[in-house]
A and B are shown apart, each in its own frame.
Chain A
Amino acid sequence: MLFLGVLISQGCGGEYPQSALHPSSDSATILDRLFDQIFWWAVGVFVVVEGILVYVFVRFRERPGDTRPKQVHGHLLLEVGWTLAPALILVAIAIPTIRAIFIIDRSTPDPEALVVEVIGKQWWWEFRYPELGIVTANEAHVPLGRTVDLRLRSADVLHSFWIPRLAGKRDLVPGIENQLWFRPDSVGVYHGQCAEFCGTAHALMGMRLIVDEPDDFERWVRANAAPASTPGDAEARAGQGVFMANACVSCHAVRGTQATGQFGPDLTHFGSRLTIASGVLENTPANLARWLDSTQHVKPGNLMPEVELSDAQVRQLVAYLGSLR
């Protein structure tokens, strides 16, 4: 098992997209190095203690003809020894621990950091870029080489923000703004999910953080700061009509239209997202149709009401939402 563990930590993060053992940021690397140190101390203690135990079990097993052994009350030096030895190991763990705490648990010292507000809601994530005028949901883009400074809030119950390859957890607490920062060190799509039990669909409150090359990030910002484009083809236009005429608009916003709902995710650039329903499904037309058909089946407990739609209306909505790129 231990061997297996070592294998995992040597392996590529691609097979384990949500692994704390494959750090891809300064912050997650600090945590991983610290864990490694403690881990090897623990392995050392484990081997020594279990080794002695097995020796004792074999060596001192009662054999026929044994008489009662010599009775020993204790031994002062031994007691002092096995008090001090663990204490010294703990000091060796405590020093890097405290050093790490005073880096991780403080605000980022980087004045150039990109501020992103994260609002946890049952059961999805809202991302707001106050400097860039962007609002999006469940997926955030950030540029490579820049510190990301998250401001975490909750709209309802406790949640916990966790993208293991980029940072440790930080809770989203009603009435409090928490902070979390990291500087990613490679481009990629990072998986995360809520880590504090938050109700029925807690298991399906996933998210993606996409680290782009700076140029790609600029392009994404330009596209996402703009209002929604008017759909080109007829089916998508029909879908827009369905969207605006139904309950969709009371919860969802599509900037540049009369849809200004705030309760559900902002859909202005929904077509450019990778997933549907905070990471449950890949964002394909077929999956989107499945979602619109029966949201409770795809993500039990979610708060989007079922809207009665004909097959044609679903097709049109899929075309419209897909056009919001």
Chain B
Amino acid sequence: MAMTGGYSTGIRSWLTTVDHKRIAIMYFVVGFVFLLIAGVEGQLIRLQLAAPERSFLDPDLYNQLFTMHGTTMVFFAGMPLVVAFFNFVVPLQIGARDVAFPRLNAFSFWVFLFGGLFLYSSVPLRVMPDGGWFAYMPLTNPEYSPGPGIDFYVLALLISGVGSIAGGLNFLVTILNMRAPGMTFMRMPLFTWMALIVSALILLAFPPFTVGLIFMLFDRSFGTHFFDAAAGADPVLWQHLFWVFGHPEVYILILPAFGIVSDVIPTFSRKILFGYPVVVFSGVLIAFLGFGVWVHHMFSVGLGPVVNAVFGGATMLIAIPTGIKIFNWIATMWGGRLRFRTAMLFAAGLVATFTIGGLSGVMHSSPPADLQQTDTYFVVAHFHYVLIGGTVFGLFCGFYYWFPKATGRMLHEGLGKAHFWLSFLALNVTFFPMHFSGLLGMPRRTYTYAEGLGLDVFNLISTIGAFIFTLSFVPLVWNLWRTWRRGEAAGHNPWDASTLEWTMASPPPHYNFAEIPVVDRRDPLWHPYIEPESRGEGDEPGGAVPRRQPEEPPAPVVMPNPSYWPLVLAVGMLLMTIGGLGSLGLTLFGLLVTAVGLFAWAFEPAFGDEAH
């Protein structure tokens, strides 16, 4: 099997690549490694809590571990895995040869990677941040957190945030401008739709967080008082800045998963998506409402009855579009021919378990009820059902679905199913008991709990579940190893799916489409099976086959040049970041490298000669 697909190989080709599929693979591998690391951190947390008053971890180490677990999962596992799918799938689904700004894409990856490496350099130095992924002021100001731990958090998220914002911009422009002729908005596959929405979310949600981080950096490094109550400021400002980002961030992580299953369920039901426009607009609505609910993370702050009532009501509203999606997925499967391949199992698992997380979410959308639930294990149960049952299951669903397209090889179905059932079991065994431990009085972020509170059994069950989780990665890794050695060839369209990415070879050639296709309908590959809803524009047969006059020669393929400069720019920013720990000289040197990279980038020709 030719894995090179017309690529040059070697380390240098990866360092300079601007190809969206290669960048996707790098995002995926790095994100997966961070997922494993953060998983180990979670496993250590569960070991400490297996029984009351254990001393496996000391409190400071425990606090560092839950901080690293949360920060890593959100920023260095969840986000890059989402972006990996954006990178691989979006250009193929819209009929483009690459993203709008290929070098910016490479730059996004490198600063993300450097942000993660920088954060984890705090581990060997034994100065991991310990303020939680939310880093509430004033606990994180130098008076209460004098070491460099919080600085690692602030600087790592600042630098990787630059990559996220650039990525959001890139995919927004890509989807708006690079669609193949005829690919109207209402013909886009659902995953591309959700990628478009999420790109807008990233672009709007990260700036307030960045502002907050810069305030925090200034408070910590230069003695300003943005969050200092003693100087007349309000520490609650940090909470607003954090959650006005933090809540949309949840949708940044969940909507791509919704997009993935909205493509996968129709494929494995052999039935087009039920209520396509409704599913699209419910996604838009979730994203829009997502900016108006952040105070539901702050109901116990004491902001007053009017504020709590308004934000509680807004939060409840989100249940409506979310429910609509679930009902439309069910209606898609209704009357279908369900093939439970691994990808479909994960999609079905998402619908089943995300529902549980959604319902517990409705429980704490009610501010008075939330006053008992917030900051307890009930909330830990809730968001793990959402983020594992939703995001992780959705990402695994996409992984099993697009793996043959990305590598040209089929994963083993039996091992895939073992992976699904173990993770499904693990999710429920680990997190369902936490509903009880929370309501029975166990706060979050506590390294131990007293005997005699009635929490012992629930915690022990949760810890057993965490072991099952660890176990669930065995069939996955085995599957990857097996497929690496001898996987069956995938062919163009192994699942009989309906969207453009399945028209080309697996793995796709680096220019994707030899000729840009012309699209005249949704689900172009299924056109023989679909009765048009109504006779109108674009209903003539033909589908997505490239249509050009036979005598016309194919247009030349022009691909972007590989480039070192995105990497140089990212290295410059990394140096500035390291300098942020206290070396002005290094910061200035990093600034110089950044400036050189930027200028060289600007004057380098973006596109090369004709490739084929």
Contact = CB atoms under 8 A, between A and B. Distances in A.
Contacts of B371: 31, 104, 167-170
B212 to A, nearest CB: 16
Contacts of A201: 59
B278 interface: yes
A281 to B, nearest CB: 10
A213 interface: no
Interface string A134-170: 0000000000000000000000111010101001111
Nearest to A91: B316
A57 to B, nearest CB: 6
Interface stretch (B193-201, B436-444, B585-593): B436-444
A30 B368 contact: yes
B530 interface: yes
Given A34-B366, A94-B316, A60 B333 contact: yes
Contact of B448 (A38, A100, A203): A203
A129 B498 CA distance: 71
Contact of B440 (A21, A46, A173, A300): A21
A214 to B, nearest CB: 28
Nearest to B530: A71
Contacts of B313: 94, 98
Given A38-B369, A90-B319, A156 B138 contact: yes
Interface string B139-160: 1000010000000000000000
Contacts of B441: 16-20, 164, 191, 193
Interface in B249-276: 269-272, 274-276
B372 A168 contact: yes
Interface stretch (A79-87, A226-234, A244-252): A79-87
B15 interface: no
B515 interface: no
B338 A72 contact: no
Interface in B358-395: 359-360, 362-363, 365-376
B63 A83 contact: no
B529 interface: yes
Contacts of A215: none
Given A19-B454, A75-B331, A203-B447, A168 B317 contact: no
B302 interface: yes
Nearest to A301: B59
Contacts of A69: 269-271, 335-337
A74 B275 contact: yes
Given A38-B366, A42-B360, A69-B337, A158 B138 contact: yes
Interface residues of A, number: 94
Interface string A26-44: 0010111011001101100
B375 A86 contact: no
B450 interface: yes
Contacts of B447: 203
B330 interface: yes
Given A101-B309, A169-B371, A62 B339 contact: yes
Contacts of A73: 272, 274-276, 533
A16 B339 contact: no
B59 A158 contact: no
Contacts of A4: 436
A194 B443 contact: yes
A157 B138 contact: yes
A282 to B, nearest CB: 11
B359 A206 contact: no
Contacts of B275: 73-75, 78-79
B337 A66 contact: yes
Nearest to B448: A203
A279 B369 CA distance: 26
B452 A60 contact: no
Contact of A171 (B301, B368, B454): B301
A61 B338 contact: yes
B324 interface: yes
B595 to A, nearest CB: 40
Interface stretch (A110-118, A174-182, A258-266, A311-319): A174-182
Given A16-B441, A79-B278, A164-B372, A56 B312 contact: no
Given A94-B313, A300-B58, A42 B368 contact: no
A246 to B, nearest CB: 27
Contacts of B60: 200, 300-301
Contacts of A301: 59-60
A175 B235 contact: yes
A86 B136 contact: no
A200 B59 contact: yes
Nearest to A172: B302
B359 A56 contact: no
B451 to A, nearest CB: 11
Contact of B439 (A1, A19, A68, A199): A19
A98 B309 contact: yes
A197 B132 contact: yes
A131 to B, nearest CB: 23
Contact of A45 (B139, B359, B453, B526): B359
Nearest to A84: B320
Interface stretch (A47-55, A235-243, A283-291): A47-55
B309 A157 contact: no
A16 B338 contact: no
A4 B440 CA distance: 13
B144 A156 contact: yes
Nearest to A179: B302
A219 interface: no
Given A34-B369, A175-B235, A195-B376, A16 B440 contact: yes
A38 B362 contact: yes
Nearest to A20: B372
A176 B452 CA distance: 34
A82 B271 CA distance: 20
B136 A158 contact: yes
A244 to B, nearest CB: 31
A35 B372 CA distance: 9
B320 A90 contact: yes
Contact of A16 (B59, B136, B453): B453
A225 interface: no
Contacts of A79: 275, 278, 324, 328
Contacts of A63: 337
Given A71-B271, A102-B309, A20 B439 contact: yes
B449 interface: yes
Contacts of A160: 300, 375
A173 B301 contact: yes
10 contacts: A1-B432, A18-B441, A20-B440, A49-B355, A69-B335, A71-B272, A83-B324, A158-B235, A160-B375, A203-B445
Given A178-B302, A197-B139, A301-B59, 10 more contacts: A19-B441, A34-B366, A68-B529, A71-B529, A72-B271, A72-B274, A168-B370, A191-B441, A196-B136, A197-B136
Which 5 residue pairs spanning A and B have beta carbons closest together? A168-B371, A18-B441, A175-B229, A203-B446, A174-B229
Interface of A: 1, 4-5, 8, 15-21, 28, 30-32, 34-35, 38-39, 41-42, 45-46, 49-50, 52-53, 56-57, 60-63, 66, 68-75, 78-79, 82-83, 86-87, 90, 93-94, 97-98, 100-102, 104-106, 122, 156-158, 160, 162, 164, 167-171, 173-176, 178-179, 191, 193-204, 206, 279, 300-301
